Amino acid sequence: MTVPCIQCQIVFEITDEDLEFYEKISPIFAGKKHLIPPPRLCPICRHQRRLAFRNERKLYTRKSDMSGKSMITIYSPDKPYKVYDQDEWWSDNWDSLEYGRDFDFTRNFAEQFRELYEEVPRVSLHTIGNENSYYSCYTLYLKNCYLLFGASYNEDCKFLHNSPKSVCSYDGVYTAPDGLQFCYNACSTVGSNLIATYFVWYCDRAYYSMDCLNCTNIFGCVGLRNKHYCIFNKQYSREEYEVLAGKIVEHMQSGHGCDGDGMRWGEFFPYNLAPCCYNETVAAEYFPLEKERALALGAMWHEEENSDGGSQIAGGATGEVLQNEVSCDIRQVGDDILEKQLLCEKSGKKYKITAPELKFYRRMKLPIPRKCPDIRHYDRLELHNAYRVFDRQCAKCGVSMKSVYGHERSEIVYCEKCYLAEVY
């Protein structure tokens, strides 16, 4: 069947295979299966909404709400949340179950979840097991790494994006991540039997939860570790959990308050529950929006404070500023560059070269970059095709086909048959 997307109005197809998948992953509570309904958003808009929860480029300095010490975090200082530094958040000095509360069936799920999510402390950076790799997020078991986002088991790397298991590599994007099993509408998640989750790692049978680790059978929870049979951070017996979870699903299926929060059972969290502003997230990279349009979707928007382009130097900018004085011959670059600032030739942002970075460029016989890490990242993204397919004709035989290259693109595009005949 075909239906129009409620966000972009583009008609998209829901196949029999899709419906079989939704039926297969639908959870069972107290012996009753609660079916996942067909999506109201097209695949592209569903993807855009999930990406709006993931900040992979912006790091800020703010003080921990537990100790008051300065820390690096993905949450800007103006965000209203409680944020703990990583060691504090993972410690036993606080208990996320203390924020537990009953579910109120007279109100919609999203507004109650928002209240919980805004009260439970958040971890400054989403990392596990890193060594000497403080400036990173969504990472696991890094060693001697800097400004990595979406990576695991990397060593001696910098400026990588979704590139796990890399060694001594700089400035790269997209290799292979860990997988999911029987999951739907998951973002930044590792586990099985999960529905509508964000930063839920190594969990099983988790629904509408965020920032949880090693949990099973949780629903609408935030910040839990090693817990089972919890709803809204409140502990229940297995029998109590099964009955209450089923009732909450039926409450969401009824459409209670869905016009206000834009979310029904099976759908991902709405934009107004995203922890970061739209223009801080990956969504803005692949689906750029003007401020007014982002706010109309319910997202937040971050206003940049620095009019001179700002700085990409962790901990502040110091040292003489250089613009075009650095030699293109790495052999002519002395160690004194480590004490100076560079000015990005495109954005005007200040950035610095670290000792391991200089060693890497010398080893690879590469010149010092003249653009800051952010601009280098955006330059690579321009080579990435859009998350859409278009109807067009083969430039050789004229057959109709699908392609990621739109009609406005200048590339010559062949169908698979003509392409293989040409290259082989």
**Token pair for residue 10?**
């583009």
Q: Tell me the HSE value of 362 on the side-chain side, using a 13 A CA sphere.
A: 13
Residue identified by tokens 């890497």 is 360
Q: Please, which pLDDT band fits residue 256 given cuts at 50, 70 and 90? A: low
- Pair 108, 257: CB distance under 8 Å: yes
pLDDT given at position 258? 53
- Residue with the bigger pLDDT between 174 and 92: it is 92
Q: Tell me the per-residue pLDDT of 337-390, one tens digit each, with 9 for 90 and over.
A: 898 889 998 888 889 898 989 998 998 899 999 899 888 888 887 777 767 788
Q: Is pTM, for the whole model, over 0.85?
A: no
Residue identified by tokens 């509508």 is 196
Highest mean pLDDT pick, 118-122, 132-136, 280-284: 118-122
pLDDT given at position 261? 53
pLDDT given at position 309? 41
- Residue with the bigger pLDDT between 180 and 44: it is 44
Asked if residue 49 has pLDDT above 70, the reply is yes
Asked if residue 226 has pLDDT above 90, the reply is yes
What is the CB neighbour count within 10 angstroms for residue 145?
A: 25
Instruction: Give kind and range of the element (H or E) at residue 246.
Output: helix 238-253
Q: Please, which pLDDT band fits residue 166 given cuts at 50, 70 and 90? A: confident
Asked if residue 314 has pLDDT above 70, the reply is no
H-type alpha helices, 101-237: 109-119
Share of the chain above pLDDT 90, in %: 51
**Token pair for residue 305?**
């404070």
pLDDT given at position 16? 94
pLDDT given at position 76? 92
Asked if residue 176 has pLDDT above 50, the reply is no
Backbone angles phi, psi at 300, to 5 degrees: -90, 165
Q: Would you list the DSSP string of 253-278?
A: HTTTTHHHH---TTSPPPGGG-SS-G
Q: Give the whole-angstrom CA distance, residue 38 versus residue 40.
A: 7
pLDDT given at position 319? 57
**Considering only CA atoms, which of 54, 125, 4, 55 is closest in space to residue 269?**
54
Question: Could you give the C-alpha distances from 293 to 58, 222, 283, 287, 342, in angstroms and in order?
Answer: 21, 29, 13, 11, 35
Pairing between β-strand 228-231 and β-strand 190-213 as defined by DSSP bridges: unpaired
Find the mean pLDDT for residues 275-292.
90
As a whole number of Å, the end-to-end CA separation of the chain is 39
Asked if residue 183 has pLDDT above 80, the reply is yes
Q: Give the whole-angstrom CA distance, residue 250 versus residue 236.
A: 19
Q: Please, which pLDDT band fits residue 325 given cuts at 50, 70 and 90? A: confident
Find the mean pLDDT for residues 45-51.
92
Residue identified by tokens 């009609």 is 407
Q: Is 402 exposed, middle or buried (0-12, 13-18, 19+ CB in 10 A)?
A: exposed
